[in-house]
Amino acid sequence: MMTLMRHDHETDESFYKILEIRHLTGNAFSIRLPKARFAFKAGQHISLGIVGGNQSREYSIYSGENEENLEVLIKEVQNGYFTPQLRRLKIGRMLEVHGPFGKFGMEPEKAEKGKFVFIASGTGIAPFRSIIRTYPNIDYRLIHGVKTLEEAYDSHEYEKSRYVLCTSREKTGDYHGRLTGYLKTCTFAPDTQFDLCGNSEMIFDALEILKGKGFSRDQIHCEVYF
């Protein structure tokens, strides 16, 4: 095999060395990288590949805009191709990062004035952590739907009065059942902005509930995880 061009892994600005891997549950972990070399809006996502590998995936940024580390939250897909490889990586390995992507990002002027309800299932909490860390004074309520308590990733970081954990498989959360069940019981101010992130089924059901409560589609912003 002939090689015409060799790529310089050490100097490419899209390559980031893994600094830390935090194992949050049996199958969820976060990867910490050096500070982002690009400007991003809290809520946006990046694509991540393993240098020398041949695939990439998209992950919402888990860290705040100006933090010293770029961080992503990942759940290992059982029998998946990519996430088990990511999970096995050691500190020091290089990742290829591209982005930021997406319009699911918080604008500073909006963050100051708005009233927000963040609705997340599973690792869909990632963009909201980024937003809350970027705008510590933001007026928010975070509704997080998971199966069990251990999936309440870094929940100690959120103000208790603003965070509602819905656990569907055990009675350990603030609400026992799916987050859509909790959503049906809620009342919100008419000018509330809703941001939804998670799997498409949850988002569709939550959209229907919110529309049923009289909120317009313009007030609801979605980021689908797949």
Partner 1 sequence: MNLADSERVSAVLEGMGYHKTDNEEEASLLGILACSVRQKPIDKVYNKIAQWNRWKDKRNLITFVSGCLLPADKDKFLKTFDLIFQMSELGQLPDMIREYGVVTPAGLKMRQPIMPKNEHIAAMWNIKPKYQSTYEAYVPIQNGCDKFCTFCAVPYTRGREVSRPSQEIVDEVRHLVNQGYKSITLLGQNVNSYGLDKNGEEITFAQLLRQIGEYGNTSDQEFWVYFTSPHPQDMNREVIEMIANYACLAKQIHLPMQSGDERVLLKMNRRHSMEKYRSIVEDIRELIPQATLFTDIIVGFTGEGEAEFQNTTAAFEEFKFNMAYIAMYSPRPGAASFRWEDEVSSDDKKDRLHRLSQTMKVYSLEYNKTLEGKTMRVLINGTDRKTGFMTGINEGRIIVRLDHHDDSLMGKIISVKITDAAFLSLSGEVVPA
Rounded to the nearest whole angstrom, what is the least distance from the CB of residue 55 to partner 1 in the complex?
6
Q: How far apart are CA 61 and CA 72, in angstroms?
A: 5
Residue 85: strand, helix, or coil: helix
User: Which one, of 187, 151, 189, 186, lies nearest residue 167 by Cα?
Assistant: 151
DSSP SS3 for 66: coil
Residues 13-32 that bind partner 1 (CB under 8 A): 14-15
For partner 1, give the closer residue by CB, 102 or 177.
102
Using alpha carbons only, give the angle 26, 31, 36 rounded to the nearest 5 degrees: 160
> What's phi and psi for 74, nearest 5 deg?
-135, 140
Which 159-218 positions form the footprint of partner 1 (CB under 8 A)? Answer: 200-201, 203-204, 207, 217
Q: Which CB, 58 or 154, lies closer to partner 1?
A: 58
CB of 99 to partner 1, least distance (A): 7
Closer residue to partner 1 in complex, CB, 48/138 = 48
Q: Do residues 73 and 62 make contact, with C-beta atoms less than 8 angstroms apart? A: yes
CA distances to 1, 67, 107, 187 from 37, rounded to whole Å, are 35, 11, 20, 41
Of the residues 21, 149, 186, 224, which one makes contact with partner 1 according to CB under 8 A:
224
Q: Which stretch binds partner 1 (CB under 8 A): 60-68, 92-100, 169-177, 186-194?
A: 92-100
Asked if 7 interacts with partner 1 (CB under 8 A), we say: yes
- Strand pairing category for 15-17 and 94-101: antiparallel
Residues 96-125, mask of contacts with partner 1 (x by CB under 8 A): x-xx-xxx----------------------
Interface residue list for partner 1 (CB under 8 A):
1-7, 12, 14-15, 47, 49, 51, 53-56, 58, 77, 80, 96, 98-99, 101-103, 200-201, 203-204, 207, 217, 222, 224, 226
